[in-house]
Amino acid sequence: MLKNLHYLNGKWVRGKDLKISAFDITFLRGYGCFDVFRVYNKKPFMLNDHIQRFVKSSRILGLKLKLGKKDIQKIIYKGIKINKNSELIVKMILTGGISQDGLSISQPTFIVEFLDYKPWPEIFYRKGIKVITFRSQRFLPEVKSTNYFQTVYALKKAKKEKAQEIIFCWDNKIYEGGTSSFFANINNKLITPQKDILPSITKKAVIQLAKKLHIEVKERDVFLSEIKNFKEAFICSSTREIMPVVKIEKLILKNFYL
């Protein structure tokens, strides 16, 4: 991380020099946006989709991104080329800029981090993980925000309960994971929440793959009362890919074979 080269407002810097002002509103208030994706063997996965979502997030937050989509593409491909590792995690960040009063946004800082990919423990894929529910709902879920207060707070509880992820729930509905999307198998149909969630790009890829495999997919409201009907479940994200869930709270999903 410290040895890799990263992009910072027009300059390429090492990790130790990748810094923003302590007066930046992203540091002070968590007001900013980001996006993250995998690079496989020097090839970025669904790059255009991630850039489009990043740009959309910045527009919703009213942050002025001076660079166009093609400019961002060039930066990313250059970063992939000049960093040695062929397996990377790339994170685009747009801060809210230095705030004079601690509440106002100004000229944003644009950062692209090039991080060496570190695989999740293999046992998570082989034996599955436990998740817990957390009663909360994201503000502006369509934005990939730098404000992860809810997730960080909830994951502390999850760790105590030996769970690896939290699932946001509200009004008896299941929405999404703290850092992932959620799927379940009910009656051999792949069910996943549709509304008031981040438009996940990995989720989009999973749905496309499922349809190619002739697996029926239903995007709809998913209720907590349906958990007992789950034959299987999994979460997905850019860094995790697809990770099986074998336990939700105290309920063991019996159809997952260890």
Segment 178-221, tens digit of pLDDT: 999 999 999 999 999 999 999 999 999 999 999 999 999 999 99
Domain residue ranges in the chain? 5-116, 122-252
Say whether pLDDT at 97 is over 80: yes
Say whether pLDDT at 254 is over 80: no
Tokens representing residue 231 in the block? 């034959």
Q: What percent of the chain has pLDDT over 70?
A: 98
Q: Which CATH architecture is the domain 122-252 placed in?
A: Alpha-Beta Barrel (3.20)
Say whether pLDDT at 134 is over 80: yes
**3-class state of residue 151 by DSSP:** helix
Q: What is the pLDDT of residue 255?
A: 62
Distance CA 174, CA 179 (A): 14
Q: What is the pLDDT of residue 1?
A: 65
Q: What is the CATH number of domain 5-116?
A: 3.30.470.10
Contact (CB, 8 A) for 25 and 102: yes
Distance CA 43, CA 117 (A): 13
Say whether pLDDT at 258 is over 50: no
Closest-CA residue to 132 (of 235, 205, 215, 46) = 235
Distance CA 76, CA 83 (A): 11
Contact (CB, 8 A) for 171 and 222: no
With cut-offs at 50, 70 and 90, classify the pLDDT of residue 67: very high
Say whether pLDDT at 2 is over 90: no
**3-class state of residue 42 by DSSP:** coil
Q: In sequence order, which residues have a C-beta less than 8 Å from that of residue 258 and are 6 or more positions away?
A: 127, 128, 246
Say whether pLDDT at 172 is over 50: yes
